[in-house]
Structure 1
């Protein structure tokens, strides 16, 4: 979730979806996987570059979406076979009965999302009554609401003003708001301008912001072998990135127009999920990484925002079968 995504998010969704409708993405490969600008998803290019798709017999085509929400809509419309998306943006399609399942957890945000505050604010009581720039209903809004709740406050204790993430960051830098919900690179840019500091980040809330691969049922039925191979390739990519973070950043950075050194900072704020963490995430438990825990919390927030009417049962949209098959020798 970077600068390019932020700038285009408001402009391209309608135009992008219209383009997809008029010119469906040609399926040159058996499985088309939507990818957009977030470290946990750009990491797929490491799997491609290092030859892991070929190694594990996965016929996969990565489809780049400059605008993230267009990829979410494309999956729901059946324009691609699978998509990388946040859990918070998956619960609405689940409620609308889009025929798809969560088959993989790519990552959890671990510092890449933050509630940034002006330098004069050091504690949560000092934030009371202040203006917070945030995109209402977004991950950043969810993070800010969670931070307030964890510190004995509620949304009514601050004045949330709806604005894009880029605008919120600019407003904080300009001193027009006291706080802003942002992600990297905006966190870095606010700090570079010495205009604020993080009062709360996703690193302090493990499991709060999971990202997943959401795949259509028809594609899963037709191409199970490719999905299993694709998942094996993902596990190999995670191991490579953990062992070679700078080399991985060099592979990933050109896809988002950043320097490797800059991208390495964003990568550090993303906890990539390998095989064992995926199994834990997709199992019912009280562990913070479990999608059962995050679905309950995320669902409550979305219901409060009237984005969904009820929290779906995770068992209805999680398919751990691909992960289990990929873990076999």
Structure 2
């Protein structure tokens, strides 16, 4: 729900997982939170820089993961206490009964994910029969499938070819494929090369790509005070970013090797969730922002991809208790 320069939805090799198991991530903090390259997660460094963790009594250690899926597997393996991850990558661990809960919604993608097409393609009917480079089973695959469905088409109307996000973008720039599912900074790079334009972005599908904090039950039970303080720090960081977007970009950009001006563009494509939006997202309703709605839609896609066998019940893995506690004076 980047800049997702390393957010390639691929499985961590067994050797890598073994390395994590043999060498747990050291930390003297009460709570370790996995963070990777996406504006809604890099935003935690604003909370750290501005002293919000200390202000709200949260003993938190941010653990940076260059490869996003490594963080997802690290959480499942018990190597960290909590992790920033997309809802789409959380439903499989939920089905596998990883003892954890979604305790916070950090953001929704609001333009940072896109179905990019060559300049010669202007409409969805023109996409019929064309090749789309996309990582199969990924967020970009899900976005493209949703876009097709919204325009009266199906996945069989195009030819999805499995490739990493970076390779798909490069192929579109080189004219080797007419369409690609990508996220920023690849969207910007394709446009800078004048090689294509967005036919559909996550901005046109509110609630489709939520990003969350997934925390292990044992850590929640042992360190509730720190999780509540951490969530208060998040709410404060969201207010800071909304009031000072360029200053926030200056804090965040160095963590991903970009210039603040570049990062500000990607930050604008991310809808950060403060306290009010979190309550709406974690409540059962028919609103697009609700995780109950997005879980149903995302689950249908993952079942169709045989990634999970059935859509989990959101009531079983969403816990709004930390958010509600953080909202108290």
Q: TM-score range by the shorter chain?
A: over 0.9
- For residues 172-211 of structure 1, the C-alpha deviation after alignment (integer angstroms, 9 at most, x for no partner) is 0111111000000000000000000000000000000000
How big is the shift at 1:21?
Answer: 1.4
Deviations 1:50-106 (A, max 9, x none): 000000000000000000000000000000000000000000000000000000000
Shift of 1:18: 3.0
Q: What is the Cα deviation at residue 20 of structure 1?
A: 1.4
CA drift at 1:144: 0.1
- Which residues of structure 1 form unaligned runs of 5+? none
Residue 26 of structure 1 and its aligned partner are, at CA, apart by 1.5
The question of whether the paired residues in 1 share the 8 Å contact of 2:7 and 2:69 is answered with: no
Query: Cα–Cα, structure 1 residues 76 and 12, in superposed 2: closer, same or farther, change >3 Å?
Result: closer
Give the conservation status (yes or no) of the 8 Å contact 1:6–1:165: no
C-alpha change, 1:7 and 1:292, in structure 2 (3 Å) is closer
- Map residues 218-229 of structure 1 onto 2, 5 A cutoff: 218-229=218-229
Q: Does the 8 Å contact 1:4/1:256 carry over to 2?
A: no
Distance 2:77 2:256 in 1: 26
Q: Is the 8 A contact 1:7 1:166 kept in 2?
A: no
> Deviations for 1:206-249, whole angstroms, at most 9, x for unmatched residues?
00000000000000000000000000000000000000000000
Q: Aligned-pair distance for 1:10?
A: 6.1
8 Å contact kept, 2:49–2:251: yes
Please give the per-residue CA displacement for 1:133-171, whole angstroms capped at 9, x wherever unaligned: 000000000000000000000000000000000000000
Kindly report the root-mean-square deviation, in angstroms, between the aligned alpha carbons of the 2 structures: 1.5
Q: Check the 8 A contact 1:5/1:37 in 2, yes or no.
A: yes
Paired residues, number: 329
1:278-322: CA deviation from partner (whole Å, max 9, x where unpaired) = 000000000000000000000000000000000000000000000
Could you list the per-position Cα deviations for residues 258-284 of structure 1 after superposition, in whole angstroms to 9, with x for gaps in the alignment?
Answer: 000000000000000000000000000
Q: Deviation at 1:15?
A: 5.1
- Please list the CA deviations of residues 100-127 of structure 1 after superposition, one character each: whole Å capped at 9, or x if unmatched: 0000000000000000000000000000
Alpha-carbon contact 2:9-2:135 (below 8 Å) kept: no
* TM-score normalized with structure 1 length: 0.97
> Secondary structure of the equivalent of 2:105?
strand
Deviation at 1:17, TM superposition (A): 2.6
Rounded Cα–Cα distance in structure 1 between residues aligned with 2:95 and 2:297:
16
Task: Name the SS of the counterpart of 1:231 in structure 2.
Answer: helix
Flag the 1:193–1:148 CA change in 2: closer, same or farther, 3 A: same
Structure 2 unmatched ranges of 5 or more: none
Give yes or no for contact 1:2–1:38 (8 Å, CA) kept in 2: yes
User: CA–CA distance in 1 between the matches of 2:3 and 2:319?
Assistant: 33
Shift of 1:22: 1.6
Shift in alpha-carbon separation, 1:204–1:85, aligned structure 2, 3 A: same
Q: Is the 8 A contact 1:284 1:292 kept in 2?
A: yes
**Hey, what's the Cα distance between the residues in 2 that align with 1:142 and 1:29?**
36
Contact 1:13 1:69 in 2 (8 A): no
The 8 Å contact of residues 185 and 266 in structure 2, kept in 1 or not, is answered as yes
